[in-house]
Amino acid sequence: MRMNPSVLIFGSLAVIWAAFFAVVVVPTKTISQQPSDTWRLLSERERKGRLLYIANGCTYCHSQYVRPQDWDVGADRIAKPGDYKGQEPHLLGSERTGYDLAEEGGEHPDDWHLAHFLNPRSTRPLSLMPRFAFLGPGSIGLLTDYMQSLGGTGADYRVARQRYWKREAVAAYKRGPDYNVSWLHAKVPDVWRNMPSPYPAEEGALARGKEVYEIFCVGCHGPVGDGKGLAAANLLPPPLDFTSLNGRLPEGKYVGGLLYYQVMNGIVGTAMPYFKKDLESAKIWDVSGFVAVNFVGRTDYQTPPFGLDAAYVTPPNPRLPYAPPKGEAGGP
């Protein structure tokens, strides 16, 4: 068969229609139209927030569906067709420049979203997201309501949990710094409150911790750890002032495990998010050590209860041989 204009035109049309049939017609006829186990109707405010989301091009950078291959980034639930019943156009998105928002509802409290929309760098210092302060507080409130709806009834559960603990955290904050720190640390299990850092506060670890702090923490806690970062003005309770912790820590001693636990899991009800999806264990220890040494003013490395040190550390003096710690076999 020779190539000629007719073959080219009809062949191209055949390919286009075949693709249309495969990606539009077949899914439309075969995908279940039944609502999923977490689906619910959007409220009027959420619907208006969705329109703002569309109008401001949020879908260009954010997806709204979790694929099976996303499990490795900590996804808790794979998206289902019934999650999107009645939502037209579907805002699935194909770019993942920003975070996937399929289950965003309840990930953060409302005031975190306010700070984030006003200036994304205040909550994520390396964020590429543009500012949306020009929308004004009313529209930002609608966008926040829509964000908090993503995930359906599962999001409703998480949002209710955030708001309950928000009331508790604000009440603790208003009772003064001593009570607030005591309340926050009482929520950390004893095993973590009594766990010293397994890493020495050596130069390399502190430098790595500083880098992590500047990427993830400086927007809220500020350059000097006093809780006066860019986002602080929009958050209640405000970010913790690390410089006030010395003397207020449990038993006045441990800081490593306590900070690790709170960085890993976040503090529900406050703007402090969890970082267990973003940071591996070594980086959480590094940033905890950086905060402890530079803002709290001390490290608890090699204090009881003793355990095995980390497998890799920088020798304090590379010219001296290793000496086992006191109390260990072969140690002094």
pLDDT in tens, 161-205: 999 999 999 999 999 999 999 999 899 998 898 888 888 888 889
Give per-residue pLDDT as tens, 54-63: 999 999 999 9
CB 97 within 8 A of CB 86: no
List, in order of start, the domains of the chain with CATH numbers: 44-159 (1.10.760.10), 176-296 (1.10.760.10)
Q: What is the pTM of this model?
A: 0.85
> For the residues of 211-254, what is the DSSP string, one character each?
HHHHHHTHHHH-TTSSS-STTGGG-SSPPP-GGG-TTTSGGGT-
CB 308 within 8 A of CB 198: yes
> What is the structure's pLDDT at 306?
66
